[in-house]
Amino acid sequence: MLKPVCLADFEEHFLKSLDRNARDYFSSGANQEITVKDNVEAFNRYRLRPRMLRDVSNVNMKTTIMGNEIDFPIGIAPTAVQKMAHPEGEVATARAASSMNTCMILSTWSTTSIEEVAQANGSGLRWFQLYVFKDKSVTMDLIKQAERSGYKAIVITVDTPRVGKKLVDDRNRFYLPSHLHRVNATTDTSDNTQSSQEAQESLVHKSTQTMLDPKLTWDTITWVKSFTKLPVIVKGILTGEDAKLAVQHGVDGIIVSNHGGRQLDGVLATIDVLGEVVEAVEGRVEVYVDGGVRQGTDVLKALALGAKAVFIGRPVLWGLAYQGQTGVEEVLRIIKEEFKLAMALSGCANVTDIQLSLLAFEKRYSSKL
């Protein structure tokens, strides 16, 4: 294929290069995949109101998240079993994040250990995404491993008391290839030693549902905070009401997320919820967003709505499938440069110049949302 010039080019290669089992697992969403599509399309409902005659000879994209500086406000969202996209998986992603000086969030369901990813990431900024298990000792052990390995925050996924239904995976009878394991989940009951695809079908889904704690409540957040000194961020908030509760329970940050449309289908796109959450927290905690970010103007719009940074998931997998670490770096580089150009053409020389007044919504094109 020709050299990719935008993130969609990486997706085109991804769809052609991976086998159906892996490709559809990464691409699919819950049920009819309404939310998967709307996450992307929703950004088009917001229009830009650029300001002119401002000095943008030097555009500064640097920002801080949880007190740590990154070169641009685009991080890597947690995505599972990355070795299905490339043999080096999470190691390649970790190296790319470090070289680009941005944040990587490692998934609990990684196919590479917490320690190996830390080593590959070096002095880079890394957070650990945590599922809360029925067996609290497993949860505590994961937190301690992350602490020892230099992760700077715990990101608790709160939208998965049960695993969403993915029709594509059911049709494909999805299985995790026998040579891969979710190495951080020490109580994982799936058996990948069998060579038969049929023997492995649905084991990942069944074991995940068996392990996760459906009794997850706000008290669980309090318990995790009592167990770690790291900042605790909750991922999966979609309402102002829950954002206020998160603040009341002492979280340090919120990621507005609908799990990439993989849990409850038909929920609002994350960009449509972002403003409500930002307003609800009243600046008391940092707010981030993931879901549907595909170009630099998407990043600009998210920051205008009050996000401190965005996180991208599927595009990183596309980059992995394309060329491992180099592919992930290129994905990040392209969207970084798109964001820089969008800032300049909107009259923003610094991320602090990006304000709500930059946006209009839908066909009204009003200066007020």
The string of pLDDT tens digits covering residues 164-179 is 999 988 998 898 998 9
Name the catalytic one among 13, 86, 181, 259.
259
pLDDT number for residue 25: 95
Q: What average pLDDT does this structure show over 284-310?
A: 98
Residue 201 scores a pLDDT above 50: no
- Per DSSP, what are the bridge partners of residue 60? 350
Q: Can you spell out the DSSP letters for 215-229?
A: T--HHHHHHHHHH-S
Residue 362 has pLDDT above 80, yes or no: no
- pLDDT attached to residue 209: 75
Q: Rounded to whole angstroms, what are the CA distances from 16 to 12, 93, 172, 295?
A: 7, 21, 17, 21
Residue 75 φ/ψ, nearest 5 degrees: -105, 180
* Minimum mean pLDDT range among 13-27, 43-57, 162-176: 162-176
Interatomic CA distance for residues 187 and 82, integer angstroms: 20
Q: In the structure encoding, which two tokens stand for residue 213, read together?
A: 């704690």
7-48+62-347 homologous superfamily: Aldolase class I (3.20.20.70)
> What's the pLDDT tens digit per position in 322-338?
999 999 999 999 999 99
**pLDDT band, residue 301 (cuts 50/70/90):** very high
Catalytic site includes residue 13:
no
Average pLDDT estimate for 15-35: 96
Q: Above pLDDT 70, what percent of the chain?
A: 92
Torsion over CA: 40, 43, 44, 50 (sign): negative
- 368 pLDDT band, cuts 50/70/90, is very low
pLDDT of residue 210: 82
Return d(Cα 182, Cα 161) in angstroms, integer.
19
Please tell me the chain's helix, strand, coil percentages from 3-state DSSP, rounded to the nearest 5. 45, 15, 40
pTM of the complete model: 0.94
What are the tens digits of pLDDT across the range 83-97?
999 999 999 999 999
